[in-house]
Chains A and B, each alone.
Chain A
């Protein structure tokens, strides 16, 4: 594993499988009388959240605490800390406090990269969602959930439906799932697929119905209400008709296929209430698995990552690449 987890692209297949296998072992601890492990005793994990996300923060907090790390929650939302220099100053503060890992959620794509690669901190940086870029631990927990139900993901078909353009979950899942050998199809109206999606390791389609027949898992993405005003689609009703997972479409899924959603859901918009609550919906289980996956990530990033090590990345070494 690398020193940071900033993108699903940081994980090769071996790394990804290691995280998922580790998470599987850790999940079994959830049944024990004492859920805590001494593994990260004396280590400090900082949850640095520039955006509200109670569920992600709690998940990371639980993961770190079960590994006996000290957890500091730093919520920067709403304070004057929202602009540039502040990220640096905050980082320097965390470094001075001796943070071993910084879990960062930020509204700006790439903020975790800046934190990791600017020489401001030596701690491991875990991207807990940055702008419209990535959310790699969400992808790991999704892959984990799929593996539990479907076994090895090699050759499995996963359909991801909705606002791919603005979705960090879709980006991270597309990368991770294809690393794990799954065949990913992104389904969205053309307005919600990013430019250059043809260079991604995925198939794309504008037609949800044609993508459902053979899929093993279908993941519905949240559609933000504000997209409607920006003319990405004409109306919520039309979106729901063309891209919502309603009961009719649900019945077309293969028997074994599972239904996923990173939450929070717009019931009646991208997913019908009956589908969300059906036996094949693993949406609640995704949350449970999140803690185990994040424990695995923290364990794997932090063991052996003693800050006295000399092989840590040095920064200010970014060299400009040029067209010659």
Chain B
């Protein structure tokens, strides 16, 4: 196996260039680098632990026209990720050990990152009967994160039971918080903008009411709740409150909710149609502050590929979701680092350490030190790029950042010592 000697990189942004040796899948003492080690000039680059995404849609099985596990893993590697969680809303739904094992094995054979399947909470995402959570936990895929993402587990009893049940194998319920009745036919954030645009609004309270209930349930049964894609100021406050109680509540925010607002919907371009919807500037600022102070634990992409025809249409007919894997770190740099809200060590915490811990992904999110698994990303924060959808690895093109200048670029990604990306090129 090729050894890599990275010279002069700034580990998690520390201002003392250091060398790193990736040897046999592990970080080793650079002084012991073999003669044939490939040298990678890390000057000016930041070394972060390989990024971990708690929320990715890879569409396989079922919608291989939008994304496959292979194409999605390639996109993940290009984005600096070494582990991603593949959401359960596939066709068939990942609600049995068979499906999650298939996803896990396809990820392993693709080899670009560890694809950790998320198991459905309820059979078929229907919210009625619990799926066989234990079987999925015990399978080869060792599922620890369960979610009906795309659909809210709205029934309070089902949610309570799920939270209780996963305690047996240290699982976590990742809730897509959306009160269904309050969001029937909803098209965008409910705001002055939805009133002007004549679109059915999606009130913040529909998210916050479910989060409040679930935090109380998690506290009551002593289990772990993870709140998916938090999008409102009020949600941040509720999570801050739940954490102050010492309850096992964690939360994620997507890169797009850190950057984009509902003003963009005025274009009626469904590229901006996403669930939860883009919110207001005040929400964006609260989310940034929440991520900065740790109320929100991590950034998760909610990478949601859709084929062109599902976006090249009128708003109401369009699919919800946007790509995220290949732009996440750049958007986090733009919104959190360049604004002074987070330093790179904190970025490592929010994009690798904490999501790995929440997902119980052992090999990932470890400190960059000798003896740790060699999962690593090298990132050039000084680079800039214009986002061009056709150059993305994803099979889909629905990035909301098309034509935008984004800072930074992933120079290399290493998965257990093997380069999946090198010199900015997929290996």
Q: Per-residue CB proximity of B249-267 to A under 8 Å, as 1/0?
A: 0000000000111011001
Q: A109-B198, A133-B197, A322-B259 are in contact. Are A85 and B404 (CB under 8 A)?
A: no
With a cutoff of 8 Å between Cβ atoms, the chain B residues found around residue A322 in the complex are: 259-261, 404
Cβ contact within 8 Å between B199 and A323: no
With a cutoff of 8 Å between Cβ atoms, the chain A residues found around residue B200 in the complex are: 132
Cβ contact within 8 Å between A194 and B268: no
CA distance A199 to B401 in the complex (A): 29
With a cutoff of 8 Å between Cβ atoms, the chain A residues found around residue B403 in the complex are: 319-320
Cβ contact within 8 Å between A196 and B195: yes
The answer to whether the Cβ of B194 comes within 8 Å of any Cβ in the partner chain is yes
Pick out which of these stretches binds chain B: A113-121, A252-260, A269-277: A113-121
Q: Per-residue CB proximity of A115-143 to B under 8 Å, as 1/0?
A: 00110000000000011111000000000
The answer to whether the Cβ of A195 comes within 8 Å of any Cβ in the partner chain is yes
Cβ contact within 8 Å between A108 and B315: yes
Could you say which of B196, B203, B264, B312 contacts A88, with CB atoms under 8 Å apart? B312
Cβ contact within 8 Å between B260 and A320: yes
Interface residues on A, range: 35 or more
Cβ contact within 8 Å between A318 and B269: yes
Q: A108-B314, A131-B198, A171-B196 are in contact. Are A320 and B263 (CB under 8 A)?
A: no
- Chain A, 157-199, CB within 8 A of any chain B CB: 168, 171, 194-197, 199
CB closest residue in chain A, given B198: A133
CA distance A199 to B316 in the complex (A): 24
Cβ contact within 8 Å between B268 and A110: yes
CA distance A110 to B195 in the complex (A): 13
Cβ contact within 8 Å between B198 and A85: no
The answer to whether the Cβ of A106 comes within 8 Å of any Cβ in the partner chain is yes
With a cutoff of 8 Å between Cβ atoms, the chain B residues found around residue A108 in the complex are: 314-317
Task: Output the least CB separation between A47 and chain B (Å).
Answer: 18
Pick out which of these stretches binds chain A: B2-10, B23-31, B185-193: B185-193
Cβ contact within 8 Å between B261 and A87: no
With a cutoff of 8 Å between Cβ atoms, the chain A residues found around residue B32 in the complex are: none
Q: A171-B198, A196-B195 are in contact. Are A84 and B401 (CB under 8 A)?
A: no
The answer to whether the Cβ of A32 comes within 8 Å of any Cβ in the partner chain is no
Task: Output the least CB separation between A145 and chain B (Å).
Answer: 23
Task: Output the least CB separation between B195 and chain A (Å).
Answer: 3
Q: A113-B268, A320-B400 are in contact. Are A83 and B313 (CB under 8 A)?
A: yes
Cβ contact within 8 Å between A87 and B313: yes
With a cutoff of 8 Å between Cβ atoms, the chain B residues found around residue A109 in the complex are: 187, 197-199, 268, 315-316
The answer to whether the Cβ of A111 comes within 8 Å of any Cβ in the partner chain is yes
With a cutoff of 8 Å between Cβ atoms, the chain B residues found around residue A31 in the complex are: none
The answer to whether the Cβ of B217 comes within 8 Å of any Cβ in the partner chain is no
CA distance A130 to B268 in the complex (A): 12
The answer to whether the Cβ of A321 comes within 8 Å of any Cβ in the partner chain is yes
With a cutoff of 8 Å between Cβ atoms, the chain B residues found around residue A319 in the complex are: 403-404
Cβ contact within 8 Å between A110 and B314: yes
The answer to whether the Cβ of B201 comes within 8 Å of any Cβ in the partner chain is yes
The answer to whether the Cβ of B309 comes within 8 Å of any Cβ in the partner chain is yes
The answer to whether the Cβ of B310 comes within 8 Å of any Cβ in the partner chain is yes
Could you say which of A114, A134, A194 contacts B314, with CB atoms under 8 Å apart? A114
With a cutoff of 8 Å between Cβ atoms, the chain A residues found around residue B329 in the complex are: none
The answer to whether the Cβ of B332 comes within 8 Å of any Cβ in the partner chain is no
With a cutoff of 8 Å between Cβ atoms, the chain B residues found around residue A131 in the complex are: 198-199, 316
Cβ contact within 8 Å between A84 and B264: no
Could you say which of B192, B195, B269, B310 contacts A84, with CB atoms under 8 Å apart? B310
With a cutoff of 8 Å between Cβ atoms, the chain A residues found around residue B281 in the complex are: 323
CA distance A199 to B196 in the complex (A): 9
Q: Which residues of B contact A (CB under 8 A)?
A: 187, 190-201, 203, 259-261, 263-264, 267-269, 281, 284-285, 309-310, 312-318, 400-404
A-B interface, 4 closest residue pairs, ranked by CB to CB distance from nearest: A84-B313, A196-B192, A133-B198, A110-B268
List 15 other contacts, CB 8 Å, given A85-B312, A132-B198.
A109-B197, A109-B199, A109-B315, A109-B316, A110-B197, A110-B316, A114-B269, A114-B315, A131-B199, A132-B199, A134-B198, A195-B192, A321-B264, A322-B259, A322-B404
What are 22 A-B pairs with beta-carbon distances under 8 A? Answer: A84-B312, A108-B317, A109-B187, A109-B268, A113-B267, A117-B268, A130-B198, A133-B198, A168-B198, A195-B191, A195-B195, A196-B194, A319-B404, A320-B264, A320-B401, A321-B263, A321-B264, A323-B260, A323-B261, A323-B281, A323-B284, A323-B285
